[in-house]
Amino acid sequence: MGGYRRLVVPGRFQPLHRGHLATVEYALSLSEEVIVVIGSAQESFTLKNPLTAGERFEMLDIAFREFLGRDYRSRVLIVPVMDIAMNKVWVQYLKMLLPPFDGVVSGNELVRLLFEDIGLVALTPKFYNREKCSGTRIRELVIKGSPEWRECVPDAVVEYLSRVGFEERLRRLASGEG
Amino acid sequence: MGGYRRLVVPGRFQPLHRGHLATVEYALSLSEEVIVVIGSAQESFTLKNPLTAGERFEMLDIAFREFLGRDYRSRVLIVPVMDIAMNKVWVQYLKMLLPPFDGVVSGNELVRLLFEDIGLVALTPKFYNREKCSGTRIRELVIKGSPEWRECVPDAVVEYLSRVGFEERLRRLASGEG
Amino acid sequence: MGGYRRLVVPGRFQPLHRGHLATVEYALSLSEEVIVVIGSAQESFTLKNPLTAGERFEMLDIAFREFLGRDYRSRVLIVPVMDIAMNKVWVQYLKMLLPPFDGVVSGNELVRLLFEDIGLVALTPKFYNREKCSGTRIRELVIKGSPEWRECVPDAVVEYLSRVGFEERLRRLASGEG
Amino acid sequence: MGGYRRLVVPGRFQPLHRGHLATVEYALSLSEEVIVVIGSAQESFTLKNPLTAGERFEMLDIAFREFLGRDYRSRVLIVPVMDIAMNKVWVQYLKMLLPPFDGVVSGNELVRLLFEDIGLVALTPKFYNREKCSGTRIRELVIKGSPEWRECVPDAVVEYLSRVGFEERLRRLASGEG
Amino acid sequence: MGGYRRLVVPGRFQPLHRGHLATVEYALSLSEEVIVVIGSAQESFTLKNPLTAGERFEMLDIAFREFLGRDYRSRVLIVPVMDIAMNKVWVQYLKMLLPPFDGVVSGNELVRLLFEDIGLVALTPKFYNREKCSGTRIRELVIKGSPEWRECVPDAVVEYLSRVGFEERLRRLASGEG
Amino acid sequence: MGGYRRLVVPGRFQPLHRGHLATVEYALSLSEEVIVVIGSAQESFTLKNPLTAGERFEMLDIAFREFLGRDYRSRVLIVPVMDIAMNKVWVQYLKMLLPPFDGVVSGNELVRLLFEDIGLVALTPKFYNREKCSGTRIRELVIKGSPEWRECVPDAVVEYLSRVGFEERLRRLASGEG
């Protein structure tokens, strides 16, 4: 453990991929507890945010159980958080909603800027292969019908996504009007 | 266990008292998992809602650890949820935010009406001594300066509340302008 | 007809009573078309607003059909409108949502003040027996269990309210926690 | 009639075109009543949504009167509805605002997905020539100054749009800053 | 001057009275600049908030010009600010909207608690005769028709309030329905 | 002076450039007072809106002091205003928030359309070199690392932007994830 009491790991998880798991593992190596924030919790059924926060919650639970162990909840909290229109108050908004935290682990510059802005810790995750496994690329592959996206996503998550009809939903959303 | 997969237990927990604990224990006797929803998560520093959602999150964690056991998280999720102005869509809003659930355990008629309204289970908690231990009465006692309120609240919670200055905050809020 | 093209009749209709019908008839005597605005459309399942906007829409349709005639829709539009937090812009907000109108018929001083404020017509309804037949009094009678409220409400509406469980809903809401 | 009590036909109607009329006629062939929902009712004076909901209301009234007959209102309700940021609760939100309905007729996949998601009927309109007559194409033609868009829009609507200065408004909005 | 660069003086100013002026003067004695925040800027035409933010802006300008001097603006900024539903983020929200400030001068305990909560200065104004001259009492006197309220309000403000019809508006609002 | 009592000059000021100063000077040549509205006040830390409203407030104060003179505040008010989702009510919303005004000076067609829509004055600023000095172009130059943007921005503003780390913030935001 790296000395922190709690670190936040925010993400949209549309869907969860191996990069997210690596980030959570990295955060766990640095702190006693990790709060995984499911961001944009109000969004769903869009090309950028196909899954509901509830579905993402269940998906994370399944994946963490497999990758972090059956008792992962002893050290990881999952909290869906809706967007707030004001970046400048976003971290204070998280402080309102969550147990006390020391900082954030995120690959997103905006997120790190906002945590730094109020004097908190802002860390960049280590092993983060963004080109291959980003949510954007996964959703594009699904829409194109390419099965390649499954390489970025743990089997248990692929199975969960199949159960909720992730691929069909995304393709229907992409077909738009007609 | 009583056959349900997941039940929701919503509350404002201003502050957590023995009635809440009994309700959660009752819900746990009926289902595999319980989602404790911290309601009105946007509220704090008011007479009716002195504590932030984050403080309530920590308070619940401390209390559940003591009363439900160290590994309580294996069966209990805590999720702060902000109010939505529309009662008729509130349960659908919870479905958007939370993993799938079968119904609710609540002493509140409005809550039960809304769950019944979309065909879900709505249960009344059993051992619920409302006259003595309601949040309203506790806050009134604190403002009056009567130490009696501590009978309704587990020692670990009293200690937590003392740490965050709950009594002083509530009394200052009650003193209003001046 | 009294020369106006369109007049607005706003109300919460919790529930519709004979005073509302008289107001709509009065407005119809003054203008070609009347827009009945179902106000606070976001509210429901509260003591002050037990019915949803959709239920109120159906209730108005049933009552108008009986009292104004089968083809009442040729001259009456029903539009649910959600509250906006800013009184000063409320009439402009109605102008955004509704076909053009000349003014309002309302027993409510605030409503008349706001229409006057931007130079529109603001009329007070004539035959308005408020002491006996107000929404507030009707809801109080229902909660007390007194059948007297039915004198203020057309039979077709009483029947509709019975069908959606209005009385039981209101009483359960009034019983609050427990 | 096709057995349904009420079907919803949502649209933005920026502006109304022949495809919309065909959809409403199709819905009327399947159900007793049709609720035409004017979506994104809060939007106006943008390139994508030049007309206010009130203008769209009047435009629909004029067009329906001509194409569905003088007494069209006996079977068609027009209701402006503001957007809600949460797709997952959108249909429940419509249930809150509108009289009871069985399902939707829409050429939009997202709309059909959301109605199916809570177990309602979701129908695709039949005779829908989208390439030629979509709102997007009409607005582009107007901005380019091509009169071709009038082929997609009934004469009575062209006249109404001329009266409210639709073309000039759209071109000024398109000219942006300067 | 008392060493601070900028202090905030928040108020609703419904209407401005001598207590407010004393507070602003006290704040000016302690800092180079004072930001007078017109709170609840979205409210108007209610019993508690009869005046719009724009009216309050003009009223403050008139009063400050008379009491603080023609060039008062060289040291006093007036900024209308709408409410935010979340107390815990309110001061951060002010930091987003306003030039940098060191703290607050306010007779309101909630306001002082929230500034202290994020480590800022929170001062209580000195000469503050609340019993006689509070906004609440002034509005009550106006509604009762007692001219006594004018003792609490500078002549220039009384004249301004007369010009915008403050007394009549408040009495009409108080008369409610009818 | 050109006869108006007050004119509004809205802008996002991301950042302030010489075109803005020319517009304010032009407005001052036409009216006794000018209200400079800092629009999209809720936005910050985005590519389109890097600065907070508070930073923009301070930046305008510094620039106006230098270009309009030490006592510029005697004739210029600066007011941050958050967006409202409804264009059709936007000017009424400004009327709610600001002291009375006669019209607007703006290079933006939407802004002028909305002021004209409720019968107010809408003027186009005279000396407005948009190609060279627009906010969009300035932000692009900053991201590219070209110092050319400084030609469009007064020295005092360049210095202020350097103090708050404008260039670094914008570049970090542009670098996005990683």
Q: Which of B20, B83, B87 to mutate to test the interface with C (most CBs of C within 10 A)?
A: B87
Provide the β-strand partners of residue E8. Answer: E35, E104
- Residue-by-residue DSSP string for D96-165: HHSS---EEE-SBHHHHHHHHHTT-EEE--SS--TTTS-HHHHHHHHHHT-GGGGGGS-HHHHHHHHHHT
Which one of E86, E88, E108 has the shortest CB-CB distance to B177?
A: E108
- The tens digit of pLDDT for each residue in B60-115 reads 999 999 999 999 999 999 999 999 989 999 999 999 999 999 999 999 999 999 99
C-alpha E79/C-alpha E96 separation (Å) is 13
Could you report the average pLDDT of every consecutive run of 10 residues in chain F (178 residues)? Answer: 89 97 96 98 98 98 97 98 97 98 97 98 82 91 96 97 98 84
- Chain E contact set for B177 (CB, 8 A): 107-109, 130, 134
Contacts of F27 (CB under 8 A, 6+ apart): F7, F9, F34, F105, F123, F125
- Do E and D count as touching (3 or more CB pairs closer than 8 A)? no
- The closest alpha carbon to C108, from C37, C59, C4, C57, belongs to C37
- The closest alpha carbon to D161, from D11, D42, D14, belongs to D14
Q: How near does any CA of chain B get to the CA of C111, in Å?
A: 22
Cβ–Cβ contacts within 10 Å for residue D114, how many? Answer: 23
- Chain C contact set for B113 (CB, 8 A): 45, 169, 172-173
Please state whether the peptide bond connecting residue C100 to the residue before it is cis, i.e. omega within 30 degrees of 0. no
Q: How near does any CA of chain E get to the CA of F74, in Å?
A: 6
* C133 occurs within a structural domain: yes
pLDDT at D109: 96
Contacts of C118 (CB under 8 A, 6+ apart): C91, C92, F92
State the Cα torsion F163-F167-F172-F176 to the nearest 10°: 140
Cβ–Cβ of E113/B172 closer than 8 Å? yes
Which one of A86, A88, A109 has the shortest CB-CB distance to F177?
A: A109
Residue D144 exposed, middle or buried by CB count within 10 Å (0-12, 13-18, 19+): exposed
* B177 occurs within a structural domain: no
pLDDT averaged over chain C? 95
pLDDT at E127: 64
Cβ–Cβ of E89/A88 closer than 8 Å? no
Specify whether the backbone of E79 is left (phi greater than 0), alpha (psi in -120 to 50) or beta. Answer: beta
Q: How near does any CA of chain E get to the CA of F18, in Å?
A: 22
Helices (H), chain C: 18-30, 53-67, 87-97, 109-117, 135-144, 155-164, 166-175
Q: If interface means Cβ-Cβ distance under 8 Å, which residues of chain F face chain A?
A: 42-46, 52, 169, 172-173, 175-178
- Chain C contact set for B117 (CB, 8 A): 45
Q: CATH number of the domain that E116 lies in?
A: 3.40.50.620
Q: How near does any CA of chain D get to the CA of F99, in Å?
A: 25
- Do A and C count as touching (3 or more CB pairs closer than 8 A)? no
CA distances from E155 to B178, E49, E69 (A): 26, 21, 15
Cβ–Cβ of D108/A42 closer than 8 Å? no
C-alpha C114/C-alpha C122 separation (Å) is 9
Question: Residue A90 above 50 pLDDT?
Answer: yes
Residue C162 C-alpha from the chain's centroid: 19
Which one of E44, E169, E177 has the shortest CB-CB distance to C130?
A: E177
C-alpha A64/C-alpha C97 separation (Å) is 48
* Minimum Cα–Cα distance from F174: chain A residue: A109
**How many pairs of residues across C and E have Cβ atoms under 8 Å apart?**
35
Question: Residue A1 above 60 pLDDT?
Answer: no
C-alpha E58/C-alpha E13 separation (Å) is 11
- The closest alpha carbon to E74, from F72, B131, C52, belongs to F72
pLDDT at E170: 98
- Chain B contact set for C46 (CB, 8 A): 87, 110
Q: Which H, E and C letters describe C123-150, residue by residue?
A: ECCCCCCCCCCCHHHHHHHHHHCCHHHH
**pLDDT tens string for chain D (178 positions)?**
469 999 999 999 999 999 999 999 999 999 999 999 999 999 999 999 999 999 999 999 999 999 999 999 999 999 999 999 899 999 999 999 999 999 999 999 999 999 999 999 999 998 666 678 899 999 999 999 999 999 999 999 999 999 999 999 999 999 976 5
Pair of tokens at residue C85: 């937090």
CA distances from D157 to D16, D50, D134 (A): 8, 15, 15
Q: C74 with E143: CB under 8 angstroms? A: no
pLDDT at F52: 98
pLDDT at A103: 98
Q: B46 with B14: CB under 8 angstroms? A: no
pLDDT at E1: 47
Q: In what order do the strands lie in the sheet with A31-38?
A: A76-80, A31-38, A4-11, A103-105, A121-123
Q: Greatest CA span in chain F, whole angstroms?
A: 55
Cβ–Cβ contacts within 10 Å for residue E124, how many? Answer: 15
Which one of B54, B73, B99 has the shortest CB-CB distance to A96?
A: B54
**Rounded to 5 degrees, what angle do the CA atoms B33, B36, B40 make?**
155
Task: Between B176 and B54, name the one with better pLDDT.
Answer: B54
Q: How near does any CA of chain B get to the CA of E174, in Å?
A: 24
State the Cα torsion D158-D160-D161-D162 to the nearest 10°: 90
C-alpha F133/C-alpha C65 separation (Å) is 63
> Which chains have 3+ CB pairs within 8 A of B?
A, C, D, E
Q: Read off the pLDDT band of A126 (50, 70, 90).
A: confident
**For residue E134, what are the domain limits?**
4-173
Cβ–Cβ of B74/A78 closer than 8 Å? no
* E178 occurs within a structural domain: no
For helices C135-144 and C166-175, the axis angle rounded to 10 degrees is 80
Q: How near does any CA of chain B get to the CA of C172, in Å?
A: 6
Contacts of E122 (CB under 8 A, 6+ apart): E103, E104, E106, E111, E112, E113, E115, E116
* Minimum Cα–Cα distance from A128: chain F residue: F178
CA distances from E112 to B173, E102, E124, E125, F106 (A): 10, 13, 8, 11, 40
Q: How near does any CA of chain F get to the CA of D34, in Å?
A: 27
Reduced to 3 states (helix: H, G, I; strand: E, B; else coil), residue A10 is strand
Pair of tokens at residue B152: 């309704």
C-alpha B8/C-alpha B24 separation (Å) is 9
- Do F and B count as touching (3 or more CB pairs closer than 8 A)? no
**Rounded to 5 degrees, what angle do the CA atoms A7, A8, A12 make?**
155
Cβ–Cβ of D130/A175 closer than 8 Å? no
Q: How near does any CA of chain C get to the CA of F118, in Å?
A: 10
* B178 occurs within a structural domain: no
Cβ–Cβ of E45/C134 closer than 8 Å? no
Q: How near does any CA of chain C get to the CA of D61, in Å?
A: 9
**In this structure, are strands D103-105 and B103-105 parallel, antiparallel, or unpaired?**
unpaired
pLDDT at A51: 98
Q: If interface means Cβ-Cβ distance under 8 Å, which residues of chain C face chain B?
A: 42-46, 52, 169, 172-173, 175-178
- Chain B contact set for A71 (CB, 8 A): 71, 74
Question: Residue C135 above 80 pLDDT?
Answer: yes
- Chain D contact set for B90 (CB, 8 A): none
Residue B21 identity = L
Output DSSP code: residue A84.
-
Q: How near does any CA of chain D get to the CA of C120, in Å?
A: 17
Cβ–Cβ of C45/B87 closer than 8 Å? yes
Q: How near does any CA of chain C get to the CA of B143, in Å?
A: 23
Tally of domains within chain D: 1
Cβ–Cβ of F54/E97 closer than 8 Å? yes
> Which chains have 3+ CB pairs within 8 A of A?
B, D, E, F
Cβ–Cβ of E109/B173 closer than 8 Å? yes
Which one of F41, F44, F99 has the shortest CB-CB distance to E57?
A: F99
Cα-Cα-Cα-Cα dihedral sign, residues A48, A51, A52, A54:
negative
Q: A53 with A13: CB under 8 angstroms? A: no
Which one of B45, B172, B177 has the shortest CB-CB distance to E87?
A: B45
Cβ–Cβ of B130/C52 closer than 8 Å? no
C-alpha A115/C-alpha A126 separation (Å) is 18
Q: If interface means Cβ-Cβ distance under 8 Å, which residues of chain E face chain C?
A: 42-46, 52, 169, 172-173, 175-178
- The tens digit of pLDDT for each residue in B127-162 reads 666 678 899 999 999 999 999 999 999 999 999 999
Cβ–Cβ of C100/D54 closer than 8 Å? yes
C-alpha E108/C-alpha E23 separation (Å) is 12
Cβ–Cβ of F86/C93 closer than 8 Å? yes
C-alpha A17/C-alpha A21 separation (Å) is 7
Cβ–Cβ of E110/B173 closer than 8 Å? yes
C-alpha D15/C-alpha D162 separation (Å) is 12
Give every residue of chain E whose pLDDT is below 70, as ranges.
Answer: 1-2, 127-130, 177-178
Place of tokens 């001046």: B178
Residue E141 exposed, middle or buried by CB count within 10 Å (0-12, 13-18, 19+): middle
* D154 occurs within a structural domain: yes
**How many pairs of residues across B and C have Cβ atoms under 8 Å apart?**
36
